[in-house]
Amino acid sequence: MASPAIHINNLQKTYVVSERESGIKAALQSLIRRRTTKVQAVDGISFDVTPGEIVGFLGPNGAGKTTTLKMLSGLLHPTAGDVSVLGFVPSKRDKAFLRQITLVMGQRNELYWDIPAVDSFELNRAIYRIPQPEYRRMLDELTELLELEPLLRKPVRNLSLGERMKCEIAAALLHKPNVVFLDEPTIGLDVTMQRRIRSFIAEYNRRFGATVLLTSHYMADVEALCKRVIVIHHGKLLFDGDLANLVQKFTAHKTIVVQLEDLNADLSHYGEVVSLEDGHYTVRVPKSDTAHITERLLADLPVVDLLVEDPPIEEVIERVFAQEAS
């Protein structure tokens, strides 16, 4: 088996933060003595990612996702544990390592504000020492995939958020990185733009065989792109495996959507009625009883239509986090 593109073992990161009470007295006290506390942002995470894999990295705000990505890209030193990306120790920031990775953050802008994006691209070409023909080819490819043509020559400050994000992503990928870290690449974008960026990531992965580790708040991103997901919460690993298994593991329920002519039927003795809209009753039932209850519904009622589904992935994730918190 090929060696993993990303390997982390018992990774930990502790931040030391100074804190103080509000008010003038506390402010004066903090001049003399700083009170510090330790925050365990990442608490013993281990996983491997094989080359060419797209992995979704999930967790609520403050779960430690960004901290982990920063350790993987060499911006942060781990407090403890092993990290290896493409055989390099990221925190050493070896030039050969930096040439092969990229980190795209939703809020980060590395494009120069006042000049057209293509000028910033040229600067990146020089920084990464990309040979001219290779640069041209890659730029053409990215321009085509992300539909950048009308944007390249406009000053970046005149672009919309979505247009700028596309240019940021292109700038981050010109050097054809083998490992791509994406931190909320679709944040704040409209649905069409999200979809375009999503399909671009899939295409980039397919075309160049790049390893992609992606965090997102939009489950649609994860569902579309990632077969495998890693879920962390409070810096700890909760789940690592197929997206389908995540649903299996964390849900003991299915939902049955029943359409009836009768708008006032009482279905509460079949299961928990979650919602009712235009005669569409959504009923939550224990997974093991699904077949049995479906049968009864069809027998008892004049059913127009019936649909059995897994609960939406958002709901599953929400449930996972809620369980952990309580």
State the nearest-atom distance from the C-beta of 79 to another protein, in Å. Answer: 8
CA-to-CA separations, 89 to 23, 82, 173, 188, 198, in angstroms, rounded: 44, 8, 21, 33, 29
Q: Is 153 in the site for another protein (CB under 8 A)?
A: no
Of the candidate residues 25, 34, 35, 93, the single one contacting another protein (CB under 8 A) = 93
State the nearest-atom distance from the C-beta of 64 to another protein, in Å. Answer: 12
Q: Which stretch binds another protein (CB under 8 A): 96-104, 205-213, 236-244, 286-294?
A: 96-104
Of the candidate residues 64, 67, 183, 267, the single one contacting another protein (CB under 8 A) = 67
* CB contact at 8 A, 196 and 189: no
DSSP characters for 174-232?
TT--SEEEEESTTTT--HHHHHHHHHHHHHHHHHH--EEEEE-S-HHHHHHH-SEEEEE
* CA within 13 Å, CB half, 91: 12
Of the candidate residues 7, 12, 89, 123, the single one contacting another protein (CB under 8 A) = 123
Q: Is 95 in the site for another protein (CB under 8 A)?
A: yes
| C-beta closer to another protein: residue 26 or 291 | 26
Q: Which stretch binds another protein (CB under 8 A): 23-31, 113-121, 234-242, 300-308?
A: 113-121
State the nearest-atom distance from the C-beta of 127 to another protein, in Å. Answer: 5
Q: Is 20 in the site for another protein (CB under 8 A)?
A: no
CB-based burial, 7-40: b 16+ in 10 Å, e otherwise: bbeebbbeeeeeeeeeeeeeeeeeeeeeeeeeee
Rounded-to-integer distance, Cα 212 and Cα 57, Å: 10
Which residues form the interface with another protein (CB under 8 A)? 15-16, 67, 70, 73-77, 91, 93, 95-96, 98-99, 101-103, 108-110, 112-115, 119-120, 122-123, 125-129, 155
